[in-house]
């Protein structure tokens, strides 16, 4: 198939999933065209089956806001026609599904261009519920030829909040277990255990809770914390670390391209989010044998089985999360058991080799169901 993929190219779960999906599909012989305003971060510069088409957004003094949505629609239509795309797959509803809808209409007389929208989380739980975006989010979802959600939780929530009656397919996020795996036994031995948090440091991720957890755990266990990523909460986290007297134990690593190299060096992943449609960072950690201590929100429980391959606690209950972390750091038998269970879950339930065919099947279904053009 020839597939156009649109996503946010910056750091964030939806862009990462879209990029990894495109790369995996290319490995399986499909021709992939990324269409976005910048090169997605995890996309290699050169790759035979993968192409990147930049969207240029011309500005004009009259525009208070350059109309990216329109420039994207025009580029989608142009790329679809030139490269004879079979389908567009957009990640994150706004504005991508609206642009895809326009592109499909622009080409309607000349070519079929069905589009699939994958809902990732905040497009439904936060942004889509803003009064100014609610109706257009609902319309763009209802107009999609196929809709997927990254968890059953998000599927149910979308139905509930937007009253969507069309079928939506749940396809869980995935991880490439050949790339994400534990490191050789013995490496890193002798240094103090490390906690790790990976996010875009938005308020919804509650990264400051990681600092509180570290402060609590380090009262009894000598440990450190790596904070990977960047965003608006980073400054407040740095200040809190100073206030709580743990700044010597925290490393703010900034944005990192090779998470798979950092994760295996950690003992526990912290995911204290307020909302989480899935929790991709937890899955990547599990594949590396790093048990997550996460919050019991959204779709996280579809991934982390409490007490089996990680722990789930209430949002904001940093004392309970710290107690779980301390136990994992001091009980090596428990840690080994959870680490092995986490790897097994990643391999048997969420490996890309299991999940990617679900997208391929769905694309075929959507293309097959797309109404034929009049006279064709
Ligand atoms: O907040 C982010 O990291 C980006 C965000 C998004 O909405 O694009 O991530 C979402 O998509 C990820 C990939 O599908 C999911 O693993 C995250 O759970 C989800 N984030 C939230 O729901 C807050």
Which residue's alpha carbon is at the smallest distance from atom 9 of ligand 1? 13
> What pLDDT is attached to residue 41?
82
268-286 pLDDT, tens per residue?
999 999 999 999 999 999 9
Which pLDDT belongs to residue 297? Answer: 98
Of 222, 200, 197, the C-alpha closest to 211 is 197
Is the minimum distance from the CB of 17 to ligand 1 under 6 angstroms? yes
- pTM for the model: 0.95
CA distance 104 to 45: 28
Domain limits of the chain? 2-174+352-373, 194-349
Return the pLDDT at 42: 80
- Which atom, in ligand 1's list, is nearest to the CA of 150? 14
**Ligand 1 neighbourhood includes 362 CB (under 6 angstroms):** no
Atom of ligand 1 nearest to the CA of 173: 14
Q: Which pLDDT does position 186 carry in this prediction?
A: 61
Instruction: Quote the pLDDT of residue 374.
Output: 55
10-residue block means of pLDDT along the chain (376 residues)? 95 91 96 95 81 95 95 98 98 97 97 97 88 96 98 97 96 97 76 96 97 98 98 98 98 94 97 97 98 98 98 98 98 98 98 98 97 63
- 1 alpha carbon – ligand 1 mean position (Å): 27
In CATH terms, the fold of domain 2-174+352-373 is Rossmann fold (3.40.50)
- Tens of pLDDT, residue by residue over 9-52, are 986 899 999 999 999 999 999 999 999 999 988 888 767 899 99
CA of 184 to the centre of ligand 1 (A): 30
Q: Which of 5, 10, 11, 12 to mutate to test the pocket of ligand 1 (most atoms within 8 A of CB)?
A: 12
Q: Is 13 in the pocket of ligand 1 (CB under 6 A)?
A: yes
Please give the distance, rounded to the nearest whole angstrom, from the Cα atom of residue 306 to the centre of ligand 1: 21
Could you tell me the distance, in angstroms and rounded to a whole number, from the CA of residue 123 to the centre of ligand 1? 9
Mind listing the pLDDT tens digit for each residue in 220-233? Answer: 999 999 999 999 99
Give the per-residue pLDDT at 187.
Answer: 64
Beta carbon of 92 within 6 Å of any ligand 1 atom: yes
Ligand 1 neighbour 106 (Cβ under 6 A):
no
Domains 2-174+352-373 and 194-349 share a fold: yes
Give the domain 194-349 fold.
Rossmann fold (3.40.50)
SS (H, E, C) the chain: CEEEEECCCCCCHHHHHHHHHHHHHHHCCCEEEEEECCCCCCCCCCCCCEEEEECCCCCCCCCCCCCHHHHHHHHHHHHHHHCCCCEEEEECCCCHHHHHHHHHHHHCCCCCCCEEEEECCHHHHCHHHCHHHHHHHHHHHHHCCEEEECCHHHHHHHHHHHCCCCCCEECCCCECCCCCCCCCCCCCCCCCCEEEEECCCCHHHCCHHHHHHHHHHCCCCCCEEEEEECCCCHHHHHHHHHHCCCHHHEEEEECCCCHHHHHHHCCEEEECCCCCCCCHHHHHHHHCCCCEEEECCCCHHHCCCECCCEEEECCCCHHHHHHHHHHHHHCHHHHHHHHHHHHHHHHHHCEHHHHHHHHHHHHHHHHHHCCCCCCC
Q: How many CA atoms lie within 13 A of 75 on its CB side?
A: 22
State the distance from the centre of ligand 1 to the C-alpha of 222, rounded, in angstroms: 32
pLDDT the model gives residue 226:
98
**Confidence at residue 373, expressed as pLDDT on a 0 to 100 scale:** 62
Note the pLDDT of residue 183.
Answer: 86
Q: How many CB atoms lie within 10 A of CB 63?
A: 10
| Residue 20 in contact with ligand 1 by CB distance below 6 A | no
Mutational test site, ligand 1, from 89, 229, 278, 302, max ligand atoms within 8 Å of CB: 278
């Amino acid at each position: 198939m020839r597939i156009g993929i649109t996503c946010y190219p910056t750091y964030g779960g939806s862009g990462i999933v879209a990029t990894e999906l495109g790369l995996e599909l290319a490995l399986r012989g499909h021709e992939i065209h990324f269409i976005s305003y910048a090169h997605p971060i995890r996309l290699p510069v050169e790759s035979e089956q993968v192409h990147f088409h930049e969207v240029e957004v011309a500005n004009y003094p009259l525009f208070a806001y350059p109309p990216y949505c329109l420039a994207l629609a025009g580029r989608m239509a142009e790329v679809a026609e030139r490269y004879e795309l079979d389908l567009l797959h957009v990640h994150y509803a706004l504005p991508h599904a609206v642009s895809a809808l326009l592109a499909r209409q622009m080409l309607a007389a000349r070519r079929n261009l069905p589009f699939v929208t994958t809902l990732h989380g905040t497009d439904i739980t936060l942004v889509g519920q803003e009064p100014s975006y609610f109706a257009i989010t609902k319309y763009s979802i209802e107009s999609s030829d196929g809709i997927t959600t990254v968890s059953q939780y998000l599927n149910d929530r979308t139905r509930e909040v937007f009253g969507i009656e069309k079928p939506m397919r749940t396809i869980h996020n995935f991880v490439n277990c050949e790339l994400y795996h534990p490191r050789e036994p013995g490496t890193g031995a002798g240094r103090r255990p490390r906690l790790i948090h990976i996010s875009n440091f938005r308020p919804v991720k509650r990264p400051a809770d990681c600092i509180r957890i570290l402060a609590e755990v380090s009262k009894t266990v000598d440990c450190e914390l790596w904070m990977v990523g960047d965003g608006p909460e980073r400054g407040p986290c740095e200040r809190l670390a100073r206030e709580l007297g743990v700044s010597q134990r925290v490393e703010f690593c900034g944005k990192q391209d090779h998470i798979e190299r950092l994760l295996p060096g950690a003992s526990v992943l912290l995911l204290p989010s307020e909302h989480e449609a899935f929790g991709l960072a937890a899955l990547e950690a599990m594949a590396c044998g790093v048990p997550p201590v996460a919050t019991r929100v959204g779709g996280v429980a579809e991934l982390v089985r409490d007490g089996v391959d990680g722990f789930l606690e209430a949002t904001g209950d940093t004392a309970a999360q710290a107690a779980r972390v301390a136990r994992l750091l001091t009980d090596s038998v428990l840690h080994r058991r959870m680490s092995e269970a986490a790897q097994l879950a990643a391999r048997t339930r969420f490996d890309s080799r299991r999940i990617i065919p679900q997208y391929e099947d769905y694309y075929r279904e959507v293309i097959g169901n797309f109404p034929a053009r009049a006279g064709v």
